[in-house]
Structure 1
Amino acid sequence: MTERATQIVDAVGGADNIVNLSHCATRLRFTLKDATGIDSAQVEKIKGVMGTVPQGTDRYQIIMGGGVQSAYEEINALPVMAGRKAPSADDVKAAARAGGPRGKYAWLDNFFEFLSDSFRPILGALLGASLIITFMALMSSIGVIDNWADPRTTLPPGWAFINLMWQSVFTFLPLMVAYNASKKIGADPWVGFAIMALVMLPGFSPLGERPEAYTTQLFGSAIPTIDIFGVPLLIRDYGSQVFPPLLMAVLLGPLYKLLKRVIPENLHLIFVPFLALVIMGPLTAFLIGPIGIFVGAGLGGLLQSINSFSPLLFAIIIPLAYPFMVPLGLHWPINAIMLANIASTGSDFIQGPMGAWNFACFGATAGVLFLAIKDRDQAMRQTSTGALAAGLLGGISEPSLYGIHLRFKKIYPRMLVGCLVGGLIIGIGGGVSINAFVFTSLLTIPAFSNIPLYATAITASFFTAMLLVIFFDYRTPEQKAAGKADLDEPEPEPVVVVVGDAEAKQGKQWLDAIGGPDNVETVDLVAGTRVRVQVKDSAKVDQAALAAAGLPGAVEVGPGVWHLVAGLNADQHVETMNRVLAGSTKADSAKETVPA
């Protein structure tokens, strides 16, 4: 798959154009020196690419679906990435100032990026835990075990162990979020982890059981409290909470920068983490932690009051809002509220209506896939197949949204009808709840409380959106005609490179000057005027001999990667060198077959 990685790097302007590369659950996220010249149509023709998301003049995203981690690792493993020029100070500052697709309000963009980056690295763990939850729910629903979600239930040892497997993720979720959020904000992530671990230690909760402890009434709850040096400390259970570590990281970041500014650099390693722990540990335990729990409970209570006032209205609003929230990153706060609901009350009422949106999204993708197969559109068939698999099996909507739906505006009205139908069914049926956080996919249906109602709603959402896309299409007449023209276009004739005697002679001389055929791994044409050569040992490259053989210039752009500036006849030199290499390979094979 090195070829795919090379094609992607070349498509975004080469390694030297890349300031930063990261990835989310489905997308490669590039920060570039200049993203204005990228041809998205050509990028989307690369095998494995499901779509692109241009973001202004210096940001660019490439949708890879479930294979994004492999693509990310392949790109970083390329020699040209290891040898690329480090971004200048101006490049880094430009990247920091760069705004995302949400417009000119950088603080808003940074806020939602902070939220998403705090959760994004742990999506795999959350997804794995959600499938274990579904399995436990399924076993409970068919009577194999008692109610797995009731803490008063005593499960057999084997089932109790399986139940702990998902609890390990959610119980220590605050530590994972603290690590990611602290890293995102520019502080030492392990210091953030340690600060949050203070209130999750086995010895923290027993403080509220000591003889000198008392209770404090807050918002209708009696909270165990104990005085620490005369200051009241509220004892709370921080397992599964996400708002406390987020708030902690928001304060830890500026504190870390301040400490680094006032403490001499040679003392940073000792005193910056020490003072951060001394200051933020108590501050988190006494103030930030309780405030975070109250914030989460308050937001959950607000949505609960809307749901209690009109379950039908709530079940309609959530699936209709999500298609607009997810592309902007606005769904992350709602996900945090879901987790807070489960931590505070043991159940959540948002994920059911959210499932109606997800399956309407997947249904629209299924409709696109049907038409792509019918119209023999290979590129769209590849994109929609990957997006549909990520959705139905993983509950991940981004490949569908970014790869298809946001590119074809006619899809959204059809998808919204599917959202409305599913929401109506859930609302009329009295709502759906769940005892744990899961990704809304086919595999997690058994985790919901009212399985028949939920299954009916998401099925209706899926097929409504799918049939509307099939019957009314997702393309404008112009887009459809353009696609048909691409299919009708004949295959290009193979290009035959005619090599002149002078170019053939020069190509052989250049090959000898870079160490001969045995020192060469690959030879490629780059940008029409350069020959890119991957060599085994750069020490064998004789630049003086190359110049004497008429080469205008040679530059090592990465470890073992050389660009030979050959001019307009570069294709002839590539052809010559590859012919010599092929002949050398055949000769070596013939030698191996001759008995000694």
Structure 2
Amino acid sequence: MNTPTPEALAEKILRGVGGPENIESLTHCATRLRFQLHDGTKADQAALDALDGVMGTVPQSGDRFQIVVGGAVASVYANIVNLPSMTGGGTPRPQSDAEVKAEIRAKGRGRFAWLDTFFEYLSDSFRPLLGVLLGASLIIAIASMLDAFGVVDFRAADKSATWVFVDSMWRSVLYFLPIMVAYNAAKKLRIDPWVGATVMAAVMTPNFTGMIGSKTPGVTTTTNATLGTSESVAHVFGLPMQLNDYGGQVFVPLLMVALLALVYKGLKRIFPENVQMVFVPFFSMLIMIPMTAFLIGPMGVWAGNGLGTGLSWLNGNAPIVFAIVIPLLYPFLVPLGLHWPLNALMLVNINTLGYDFIQGPMGAWNFACFGATAGVLLLSIRHREKDMRQTATGALAAGLLGGISEPSLYGIHLRFKRIYPRMLAGCLVGGLIVGILGGVDTKAFAFTSLLTIPVFDPMIKYIIAISAAFFTSMALVYFSDYRTKEERAQVNGERDAAEAAARGEVAAPAVTVPAEDRELVAAGAVAATRGPASTGSVAAGGPASADAVAAEAPAAGKGLELAAPVAGRVVGLGEVEDPVFASRALGEGVGIEPADGHVVAPVDGELITVADTGHAFGIRTADGTEVLVHIGIDTVKMNGKGFDVRVEAGRKISAGDLLAEVDLGAVRAAGYPTVTLMTVLNTADMASVEPHTGQDVAAGAPVVTVRR
């Protein structure tokens, strides 16, 4: 595998989404690059999916586009934004009235586009917090492990200052979560995120929370003797205001910011631009802080309590149904990024009920996912699949230690359709066990990994459930394989060929040839991989007759010179940014960075194949040497635009005859490399193929020597 450099991967991703001019904004989460494009149809999903380093792509409505790259997402993001062509930072380009109207119409496309936008708002409000939530989760897990081993009473009311301080390390994330969510939500809606954070912080200050249950004048507190709860109401400017502790709340900031966005944008239309910096935040705070304290805050608390109570009722009255639905639902929510709303409900449960019952069944899904990855890892070891072994090892480590499923999903499971049914069986088994055993709870928000097992109660039930889910998925994947029999035979054959090539038993490794090249050189590509004993021929026209070869072939050992088809700088195939050519799967040869678009025949012979798009030519010489001239990389996708072909298949040609005139400027404008490649397809049949690189040549100068 030719792994691209980080800079090359960044360039290819940028090209795949339509270039910097098509990017409105770019952010990232734990595993995904998240693009807001001007025109989503310009993204080349197939090309992006094919990149080494990209696990998958997820196009969404509203011209949003996600590219999953796994744990290296931060560095890939940094490489993209630091590219010279991204100097503008992906800021919106000026649009005409017609474009603005077209964009508005486009936003409404899709029957459920509004629902996608709603979930995107929820997801983007939580997604940037993944790192700190995971950090807090691991701190809780460590403290719980110490509690389980009797080192410290994690839940004691009279803990020492040391453990009170440790508590603050994870409680800081959960308590101030509303402020963080408000910041992200405001940023998502393109208003000042600090205004959103400030409004939420106003109802979390010690001044505000200190009034709860206090004897402050104007504050009354009543106690419900039946429920044992108390409620405080403050009379502010003569109006009653319910007092709540908003620490850990998530619905309040989400509701508040949605209304704040309307107020903020409305104020920007009212005030002149030169005074907006002062008066827009001022009036936004003046309006939204009282609105949050009097109305939105209590409404958000009621909504959260209602949802938590409803789910608690379902969990209490139909635990087995609840325990099965959750793990079977998650495998379909996570790939779409729609699992964050359920994560929000977990936080609501912990805040209102003091415990959560969703994370236990969710653990069945996570460990079924990791079990399927373990099955793939075992198969990759058994079948000596180096690349898959590396992918599965990294994904399994991220899952078992961090509780993150995306590397497994995008790196493996979504690529092979046989895995999902086997993984779902593991989800079902784990969920059934959770339900039959009466459910599993936790008093902390924790990513379901090996390290967080101690936070679940009863822990033994949880261990039984996740173990069953893990080993069920692993066994099903391992014993039935994630590839079909035909796919396994093909992959193992390619592996054997590659291993033989590494031992020097064949001339070139087995590499999958793209369809557009395969149709040009079907026989030649096979000849390049089947060893010295084979005889070469091209797809059309068949082998030259024995008499013709005997009459016209050069004497044994005499070299056949192949001339440069274009003027320019000659480079080795290893320097070419195309894995097929660089691996020599299409034979040994050279690449030439062209000085102009005048393409000529490199040798006397017969034109066996001429691509309809004009990007490639197959030539067979009198002695049976098969030569491919390929103009640019991926230029087949230009569908002939910029290529003026001057020959047709079947005719005899002489070295120097004009094959095509190519508009190199059009190729570059389309975002494709212009390097022109020339290879000897049946290299395996030759005594040697000697490229002469590192020189500037004119068209017609010798650049490859072929010896039989």
CA displacement at 1:480 relative to structure 2? 4.4
AA of the residue aligned to 1:167? R
- Distance in 2, matches of 1:105 and 1:509, equals 49
- Distance in 2, matches of 1:59 and 1:480, equals 36
CA displacement at 1:554 relative to structure 2? 8.0
Q: Which residue of the other structure, out of 82, 90, 93, is the alignment partner of 2:87?
A: 82
- Distance in 2, matches of 1:455 and 1:579, equals 66
What residue number does 2:193 align with?
A: 189
AA of the residue aligned to 1:126? L
- Distance in 2, matches of 1:196 and 1:472, equals 53
CA displacement at 1:402 relative to structure 2? 3.2
AA of the residue aligned to 2:248? S
Please say if residues 170 and 239 of structure 1, whose CA atoms lie closer than 8 Å, have aligned partners that are also in contact: yes
- Distance in 2, matches of 1:303 and 1:293, equals 15
What residue number does 2:659 align with?
A: none
CA displacement at 1:370 relative to structure 2? 2.5
What residue number does 1:138 align with?
A: 145
TM superposition score normalised by structure 2: 0.68
* Identical aligned residues as a percent: 52
SS in 2 for 1:89: coil
Quick check: which has more Rg, 1 or 2? Answer: 2
Q: 1:498 to 1:259 in 2, by over 3 A?
A: farther
What residue number does 1:583 align with?
A: none
Q: 1:579 to 1:159 in 2, by over 3 A?
A: farther
What residue number does 2:208 align with?
A: 204
Q: Which residue of the other structure, out of 363, 366, 382, is the alignment partner of 2:371?
A: 363
SS in 2 for 1:204: helix
CA displacement at 1:566 relative to structure 2? 12
Which aligned pairs between 1:76-475 and structure 2 lie closer than 5 A?
A: 76-82=81-87, 87-89=93-95, 104-146=111-153, 148-150=154-156, 153-208=157-212, 209=214, 210-215=216-221, 221-475=229-483
AA of the residue aligned to 2:84? P
CA displacement at 1:338 relative to structure 2? 0.9
AA of the residue aligned to 2:449? S
- How large is the Cα RMSD of the aligned pairs? 3.9
Matched, 1:70 2:65: no
- Distance in 2, matches of 1:27 and 1:44, equals 13
Please say if residues 348 and 436 of structure 1, whose CA atoms lie closer than 8 Å, have aligned partners that are also in contact: yes
Q: 1:462 to 1:567 in 2, by over 3 A?
A: closer
Q: 1:117 to 1:353 in 2, by over 3 A?
A: same
Structure showing the higher helix proportion among its residues: 1
SS in 1 for 2:204: coil
Q: 1:480 to 1:56 in 2, by over 3 A?
A: farther
CA displacement at 1:427 relative to structure 2? 2.1
CA displacement at 1:170 relative to structure 2? 0.9
SS in 2 for 1:409: coil
- Distance in 1, matches of 2:694 and 2:22, equals 28
Task: State the Cα deviation string for residues 87-122 of structure 1 (Å, max 9, x = none).
Answer: 45277877777679x953111001000000000111
Please say if residues 62 and 113 of structure 2, whose CA atoms lie closer than 8 Å, have aligned partners that are also in contact: no
CA displacement at 1:472 relative to structure 2? 2.0
What residue number does 2:554 align with?
A: none
CA displacement at 1:178 relative to structure 2? 0.6
Which aligned pairs between 1:24-35 and structure 2 lie closer than 5 A?
A: 24-32=29-37, 33=39, 35=41
CA displacement at 1:158 relative to structure 2? 2.1
Task: State the Cα deviation string for residues 333-354 of structure 1 (Å, max 9, x = none).
Answer: 2211110111122211111111
What residue number does 1:22 align with?
A: 27
SS in 1 for 2:443: coil
Q: 1:269 to 1:313 in 2, by over 3 A?
A: same
- Distance in 1, matches of 2:112 and 2:56, equals 26
SS in 2 for 1:111: helix
- Distance in 2, matches of 1:470 and 1:45, equals 26
- Distance in 2, matches of 1:205 and 1:468, equals 54
CA displacement at 1:452 relative to structure 2? 1.7
CA displacement at 1:259 relative to structure 2? 1.3
- Distance in 1, matches of 2:106 and 2:370, equals 32
Please say if residues 61 and 110 of structure 2, whose CA atoms lie closer than 8 Å, have aligned partners that are also in contact: no
SS in 1 for 2:420: helix
SS in 2 for 1:346: coil
- Distance in 2, matches of 1:54 and 1:483, equals 29
- Distance in 2, matches of 1:233 and 1:367, equals 57
SS in 1 for 2:421: helix
SS in 2 for 1:28: strand
Q: Which residue of the other structure, out of 2, 7, 12, is the alignment partner of 1:2?
A: 7
Which aligned pairs between 1:43-62 and structure 2 lie closer than 5 A?
A: 43-44=48-49, 46-55=51-60, 59-62=64-67
- Distance in 1, matches of 2:148 and 2:673, equals 71
- Distance in 2, matches of 1:52 and 1:400, equals 14
Task: State the Cα deviation string for residues 149-170 of structure 1 (Å, max 9, x = none).
Answer: 45xx222222221221111111
SS in 1 for 2:74: helix
Structure showing the higher strand proportion among its residues: 2
- Distance in 2, matches of 1:359 and 1:188, equals 40
- Distance in 2, matches of 1:69 and 1:95, equals 30
AA of the residue aligned to 1:49? V
Task: State the Cα deviation string for residues 197-242 of structure 1 (Å, max 9, x = none).
Answer: 1111011122231244213579965311110011111111111111
What residue number does 1:586 align with?
A: none
CA displacement at 1:22 relative to structure 2? 2.4
Deviates more, 1:222-231 or 1:381-390: 381-390
SS in 1 for 2:8: helix
Please say if residues 664 and 674 of structure 2, whose CA atoms lie closer than 8 Å, have aligned partners that are also in contact: no
Q: 1:432 to 1:92 in 2, by over 3 A?
A: farther
Q: 1:376 to 1:34 in 2, by over 3 A?
A: farther
TM superposition score normalised by structure 1: 0.79
Q: Which protein has greater RCO, CA pairs closer than 8 Å, 6+ apart?
A: 1
CA displacement at 1:486 relative to structure 2? 5.4
AA of the residue aligned to 2:287? I
Please say if residues 305 and 348 of structure 2, whose CA atoms lie closer than 8 Å, have aligned partners that are also in contact: yes
- Distance in 2, matches of 1:177 and 1:48, equals 31
CA displacement at 1:59 relative to structure 2? 4.7
SS in 2 for 1:207: coil
Which aligned pairs between 1:443-592 and structure 2 lie closer than 5 A?
A: 443-477=451-485, 479-480=487-488, 483=491, 487=495, 490-491=510-511, 499=564, 503=568, 579=695
Please say if residues 554 and 565 of structure 1, whose CA atoms lie closer than 8 Å, have aligned partners that are also in contact: no
CA displacement at 1:46 relative to structure 2? 3.7
Q: 1:485 to 1:14 in 2, by over 3 A?
A: farther
- Distance in 2, matches of 1:509 and 1:391, equals 48
5+ residue gaps, structure 2:
1-5, 498-508, 512-524, 530-560, 571-591, 596-631, 637-661, 679-690, 697-708
SS in 1 for 2:191: coil
What residue number does 2:539 align with?
A: none
5+ residue gaps, structure 1:
511-524, 530-550, 556-561, 581-596
Q: 1:509 to 1:468 in 2, by over 3 A?
A: closer
CA displacement at 1:527 relative to structure 2? 6.4
Q: 1:341 to 1:29 in 2, by over 3 A?
A: same
CA displacement at 1:45 relative to structure 2? 5.0
